[in-house]
Homo-oligomer: A and B are copies of this chain.
């Protein structure tokens, strides 16, 4: 018996070339099962994603799947090619939700290398990719940039020319995509239970969301497998025993989704995510941790050409094992409080008060 090497070890730093496009494997048809599992995994109560009739009052043909479910499924496909040899996921930028995703849609994802910078130690470097997920009609539904630090396999491989892409601090209001048929003119807030509309949120205010959610081992394993994200540190408890952490890490996308679902209380009318502007997984999260979250309102934007709804730029901070009311400063001297697990800058769509049915 001879051991063959048919394992795709994934790309190392020297294997990435500026402007190359990588087509990722495993196109994925989204099903009603995925949506149910997403509710079971997060407890999301946003009616846009679980009520067909409500979605239809907003102009959709049926209920679109949760924005983050689509994002995590699309993102998972990039892992084997982009980040399997990553030392660290350094950041996200310019994450755009371009089209709603419905049950029956098939997402296919590719990534373009848009930046490269070898680190001065010569052992690794930073790779910037823009990933795009298209549906079965070839229409882009999601687009995002992330950058990861990746090992070199051969330390003697020559350094590529450094190129750092120009990335926006946030997706500008004019660049936000709203589903073409969307209208909040018939929005009825009894479906969300939310009393507050776009006009009620002011930059500078903070909302401490009251509920906490303990992440169980199966919860994050099921979620990460559902997204077909095969990064081993989330699954291989045996190997992780000898890691710095001593145990499996919870996938950052699970933390994002948990915080988003917890933030429903106080942001009931934040119907859709339009963009993720930036994101940091400040500290690791493990099974057994209880996640809480608070939201800061960063900016409030009218949207060009529409009166029914507008945008809020929010900062969603995830905290483990400590209630948000107990924490005021999440950073000291540029270093995160040890209980902070997520610092996410994102933009949501929210109906305006005066254009929503029954709220006049």
| Given known A25-B45, A225-B40, contact A196–B6 (CB-CB < 8 A) | yes
C-alpha spacing A211/B8, complex, angstroms: 12
Q: How far is the CB of A235 from chain B (nearest CB, A)?
A: 5
* B225/A193 in contact, CB under 8 A: no
Whether A164 sits at the interface, judged by CB under 8 Å, is: no
* B212/A4 in contact, CB under 8 A: no
Q: How far is the CB of A178 from chain B (nearest CB, A)?
A: 23
* A41/B222 in contact, CB under 8 A: yes
Interface stretch among A11-19, A47-55, A143-151?
A47-55
From B45, B237, B267, B325, contact of A288 by CB (8 A): B237
> In chain B, what residue has the closest Cβ to A288?
B237
> In chain B, what residue has the closest Cβ to A200?
B6
**Residues of chain B with a CB closer than 8 A to A302's CB:** none
From B24, B51, B322, contact of A106 by CB (8 A): B51
* A3/B33 in contact, CB under 8 A: no
Copy number of this protein in the oligomer? 3
* A219/B221 in contact, CB under 8 A: yes
Interface stretch among A88-96, A117-125, A201-209, A277-285?
A201-209
Whether A354 sits at the interface, judged by CB under 8 Å, is: no
* B219/A232 in contact, CB under 8 A: no
**Residues of chain B with a CB closer than 8 A to A52's CB:** 29, 104, 106, 136
Q: How far is the CB of A55 from chain B (nearest CB, A)?
A: 9
* B42/A26 in contact, CB under 8 A: no
From B27, B235, B292, contact of A211 by CB (8 A): B235
From B2, B223, B265, B292, contact of A7 by CB (8 A): B265
Whether A238 sits at the interface, judged by CB under 8 Å, is: yes
> In chain B, what residue has the closest Cβ to A229?
B43
| Given known A26-B192, A204-B1, contact A214–B228 (CB-CB < 8 A) | no
Q: How far is the CB of A359 from chain B (nearest CB, A)?
A: 14
Whether A307 sits at the interface, judged by CB under 8 Å, is: no
From B213, B235, B238, B322, contact of A43 by CB (8 A): B235
Whether A239 sits at the interface, judged by CB under 8 Å, is: yes
7 contacts between A and B (CB under 8 A): A6-B195, A6-B266, A26-B192, A32-B32, A212-B237, A218-B219, A218-B222
